Chain A
Amino acid sequence: MADHAGDHERLDLSRLHHFHGGLKLPECKAAATATPLRTLPVPPRLILPLQQHIGEPARPVVAIGDQVRKGQLIARAEGYVSVPVHASTSGRVTDIGDYPVPHPSGLSAPAIVIDSDGDDTPVAGTPHGDYRSLDPSELRNRIRRAGIVGLGGAGFPTFIKMNPGPHKPVDLLLINGAECEPYISCDDMLMRERPQEVIEGIHILMHALQVGTCVIGVEDNKPEAIAALEQTVAADHRLGDIRVQAIPTLYPSGGEKQLIRILTGREVPSQGLPADIGIVCQNPATVAAVYHAIHRNEPLISRIVTVTGTGVEAPANLEVRIGTPMRHLIEACGGYTPGVDRMLMGGPMMGFALTSDALPVTKTTNCLLATTREELPPPEPPRPCIRCGECVRVCPAQLLPQQLYWFAHARDFDKAQDYNLFDCIECGCCAYVCPSRLPLVQYYRFAKTEIWAQERDRIKADIARQRHESRQERLEREKRERAERLKRKKQAVREGDDNSKQAAIQAALERARARKQTGADSPEKSD
């Protein structure tokens, strides 16, 4: 493997590259982009999970009964990989406890509940001056304090991505506006309607990263967004090379690794990060949030969500406060249609199914997709793999999905790792084309979870083995010591008179009694 750190080849943006495989999918984006972006009113109650990002959950700094204002810190970051949570409106904290959250596991997690007072009173904040007067580490801190995470779906804390370390010079800021999954259009609408927020945010990030070049990659099925961005860039006379690049519409071009390959021809090393090859990649909504945080001193308390699918009457894109229960979004879109069958968060390829619409919108909720049976029929019963190789043809990670399936199925996890299971991005291309309708991705997730669990078990087992070994050693030592004592005693008995014999017996009896009293704690007994 080439060592990319520090000495990657010169950036060449003159032509587009291809990634392997991929799919042409039905786009289904028109319904939600037909009407302009709307702002949803603040709901009477907000549920704010403490973990809306990858990393450690935030820790509450408010108590039940506290009055809070819009934008006020209510939970602080805990540890390095963590970000704080802010009140999305003003009101009273009415509960801190476990609530169902949108997560593939369907489990509940700690959250802070705020009942709105209807005034939406903001905390008194002072907008800071020019961002250019701030140094990169101060900008990163402010971005962290604003609670900003990747809004494209993964929710990785943004400030960490902006700190690749001293040995990884960054030469490109990449804005991932591909939005390649069907149905989702929140980034499209943002780029169409608020391109200046995106461009302003880019300037801040370029300053914070000290890079001179930024490319915004947008799939060519979004001509309005491309035009809006291009106009804004053309009217911008500041330093810095910002380009808008249309790329062919092909799923998953918005996968970070795939987009990097398309635009630069470079590949993120396996198990590595874009920063290893000099690239930092951000989503347009994240960049707009950075703009709000730095220019207006507003933390991340709202986002744009696409509400769509044939399961809702009037699909639209809504700007909503974080913590808004999802059913308010559905109501704002005219409610459900009679045939509604499933609800997904995210797109139909990588999103996950929700159990209920009472769950809150979080920082990573990019799309609510309510579908009917006709639109997304329930899965067909799988048949055996016929080794047709269709999955190989479409896999953007250039894996052998059928082999991974085979090993995952046989629970041969070592082999699955030999076949690069952890390079799978779970894009679902393989399952989409599989003529045997195998739930391939489900198997890969299963295998990954099992491997992580084994890893944890191994660490535990290592500790247990160390404990066992030291105990074994101790027992050996004690046995040796006992034997020594016995030998000495025998010697004494043989050499001494009856008195000393008597004394020895007496001592032994006393020891035995004492041992009985300490009971099970004595090493001989616990064996």
Chain B
Amino acid sequence: MEFRTYSSPHLSGTNHVGRLMRGVMLAALPGLILAWWFFGWGVLVNLVLAVSTCIGAEAAMLRMRRRPVRVTLGDGSAALTGLLLALALPPFAPWWIPVLGALFAIVIAKQLYGGLGYNPFNPAMVGYVVLLISFPREMTLWAPPQELADARLSLVQTLAWSLLGTLPAGTGIDAISMATPLDTIKTQLGLGLTLTEIQAGPRFGSLGGYGWEWVNLGFLLGGGWLLYRGTIQWQIPAGFLGGLFVMALLFYAADSDTYASPLFHLFSGAAMLGAFFIATDPVSASTTPRGRLVYGIGIGILVYIIRAWGGYPDGVAFAVLLMNMAVPTIDYYTQPRVYGQGGE
């Protein structure tokens, strides 16, 4: 009898790119739902716009590059980029903000570099940073947590604002939007207030910003599940959060009137989203185990530096992109010791 032949190993596991990406998207659900709960329908409008633009752009680019469209879209990476971008955007952004960001992420940052696996920078963060630099006003249209808002928009009203730029009669954009807690700290410290005074305001909760702390907890939960499932390894999140925590602790201990507490930093802004979902993007991160720890710590420290002294209230996107640039060097210097080559 004759047989077909293949190369070894003949056995393979159940690990699969599509499965990985879908797992990450699923893990983002608790954070996403909490964000919707606290910040309203804008979160979901952004999500739909960003994800569908990413998928459309990926399909168009693949067709142009003559790559298999359906199989490649099946890896879920474009949808995940859209999801991560949307989670980083302010809920009251006009429609073209998520669309432009998504286009930039997929077309420039991903496909022009060769598609999945070849992009040196995290596509979602490239999209986000381009928006932040080009449209600083639109990018600060954050919603306050619902209880704190003077007015709250329904789904239809949110759509009308996003697509047409119209608000219900009698409401101004100032009534529905509000600066983020990190932003608030930054501007009010500039006005000479102490942190204790600033944090007495209603927009601050017991851990971080009110509402924000819950969203961060949601991402922490999802991140824990990803770790448990083995979808991500511990080094990057641990490095990120550890770096941020230690930096915050040092300065908080030195001057707690000017520098927010470590816990506040961990549960504000995009800390948990960044640590578990954004910095762990495998393609643009370091791949050696020790390198990942270095990479994570680097991001954590940079996030703190940008938050404390930089020109922007939150720094996850910049920190991730900066460390993306350092990846080849990190990988080179953190190669594991090979079996039988002595040392350690």
Contacts and interface: CB of A to CB of B under 8 A. Distances in A.
Interface of A: 1-2, 19-20, 23, 25, 106, 182, 257, 261, 267-272, 327, 336, 340-344, 348-357, 371, 376, 378-379, 381, 383-390, 392-393, 396-400, 402-403, 419-420, 423, 426, 428, 431-437, 439, 441-442, 445
A20 B5 contact: no
The 8 closest A-B pairs by CB, nearest first: A428-B9, A384-B117, A353-B5, A348-B11, A270-B340, A388-B282, A442-B7, A1-B342
Given A386-B17, A398-B337, A437 B12 contact: yes
Contacts of B16: 435, 437
Contacts of A25: 11
A357 B336 contact: no
Contacts of A426: 8
A371 B12 CA distance: 14
B3 A431 contact: no
Contacts of A344: 10
Q: Which of B19, B71, B118, B282 has the most chain A CB atoms closer than 10 A to its own CB?
A: B282
Given A342-B4, A356-B2, A384-B117, A402 B287 contact: yes
A387 B287 contact: yes
A384 B339 contact: no
A355 B288 CA distance: 39
B11 A398 contact: no
Nearest to B341: A270
A271 B338 CA distance: 12
Contacts of B116: 383-384, 386
20 contacts: A1-B341, A270-B339, A272-B340, A341-B3, A341-B4, A349-B8, A351-B8, A352-B8, A355-B2, A355-B3, A356-B1, A379-B12, A383-B75, A383-B116, A386-B17, A386-B283, A432-B11, A435-B15, A435-B16, A437-B16
B335 interface: yes
Contacts of B19: 435
B12 A432 contact: yes
Contacts of B285: 387
Given A355-B2, A434-B15, 5 more contacts: A355-B5, A387-B117, A388-B287, A390-B15, A435-B19
A354 B292 CA distance: 42
Contacts of A386: 17, 20, 77, 116-117, 282-283
A354 B5 contact: yes
B112 to A, nearest CB: 15
Contact-residue bracket for chain B: 35 or more
A384 B3 contact: no
Q: Which of B10, B288, B337, B342 has the most chain A CB atoms closer than 10 A to its own CB?
A: B10
B15 A400 contact: no
Interface in B129-154: none
Contacts of A384: 115-118
Contacts of A342: 3-6, 10
Contacts of B6: 342, 353, 378-379
B233 interface: yes
B17 A19 contact: no
A441 B9 contact: yes
Nearest to A397: B339
Contact of A433 (B13, B283, B338): B13
B320 to A, nearest CB: 15
Interface string B21-62: 000000000000000000000000000000000000000000
A267 B117 contact: no
Contact of A388 (B3, B12, B20, B288): B20
A232 to B, nearest CB: 33
B292 to A, nearest CB: 7
